Amino acid sequence: MAWDLRAVFATLMLLSGMASVGGNLLLLLLLLLRRELRTDTLGLTLSFSLSDLALGLSTIPFGVHNSLAGPDSYPGNGAFCQGSGFIFLLLQTSSVHSLTWATIDKFTQICFALSYRRLWTAARVRSVLVVLWAFSLLNAMLPLLGVGSYMYSESRYLCCLDFRPENRTFVVLWTAVGIGAPIVTMCSLYTYIVYVARKQARRGTFMCNELHCFYVPANNYLRSSVVMVTTSVCLLVCWMPYISVCLYETFGGGPSPPVTSALSAWLVLSSSALNPWITCMTQM
């Protein structure tokens, strides 16, 4: 890739890294200072926020360094590259699955408000987190055990999964179960929440507290719909190019164009910068 494109990639990655670190630190600070935000399901938010923060502190700076001054390749079986690929995949998977469970929590809170406290207990949240991180850890360890592999991608400037045809079984499983299923679940839940919001906006709603009841304007539901639609679009924009490029390389038998590969890698890492802001919008 030409030097000017390397510089553009490094600049975009640097901006994404700064936004990821700043946004997630701000979110963690808000959760620490605001007692009313400390619910039983707080661990789900902390899980994806810490994953995204770790991506902003580890994988993104690694990509910036390699695009500007790093070597053209790392030994594919070197400990540094294997460890970097392991961390990248672990944090990717844990971030997406944690965000999915946080979305399920929000969906339950909205659509099953009367039974929400009974469904989401602190013990169940801990169980979800244990299973989530165990799955993410197993998923990231499989390439180290010979199921799939990690390699340095010269077009992405990262050590990541090897998307060559001989690894198609693991790539398909990871794409379908590790990434595809959570994204489809989130978009489906957001779509249903938008449907409920539009339905409520048409008929209007009264909300009551200990003192009085008040009318909820239709604009409140419509604003919520905009947030949900924006969240779904951001997810698809960040992840679909990366998934498409990975599947193309796996089944096409050849590398994708360097610009396409680099852009898709930047987009998927930029999701770690968007997640905290989306979370703040949905909380509002």
What CATH number has the domain bearing residue 176? Answer: 1.20.1070.10
Residues 55, 20 contacting (CB under 8 angstroms) = yes
Average pLDDT score, the chain? 81
Question: What count of Cα atoms within 13 Å lies in the side-chain half-sphere of residue 252?
Answer: 10
Work out the average pLDDT over 61-71.
Answer: 80
pLDDT one-digit tens code per residue, 5-58 = 788 888 889 998 898 898 888 888 887 887 766 777 788 888 888 999 999 999
Tell which phi-psi region holds residue 67, choosing left (phi > 0), alpha (psi between -120 and 50) or beta. alpha
Query: What pLDDT shows up at residue 1?
Result: 47
How many structural domains is the chain composed of?
1
Residues 159, 238 contacting (CB under 8 angstroms) = no
pLDDT one-digit tens code per residue, 212-241 = 554 545 455 555 566 667 777 888 888 999
pLDDT one-digit tens code per residue, 140-168 = 999 998 888 898 888 888 888 888 888 88
Please state at what angle helix 3-33 crosses helix 59-68, rounded to 10 degrees: 160
Least confident of 37-41, 79-83, 251-255: 37-41
Burial 90-108 (b: 16+ CB within 10 A, else e): bbbbbbbbbbbbbbbbbbb
Query: What pLDDT shows up at residue 219?
Result: 53
Angstrom distance (rounded) from CA 158 to CA 106? 34
Structural domain that includes position 53:
3-283
Closest CA to 266 of 92, 4, 81, 9: 9
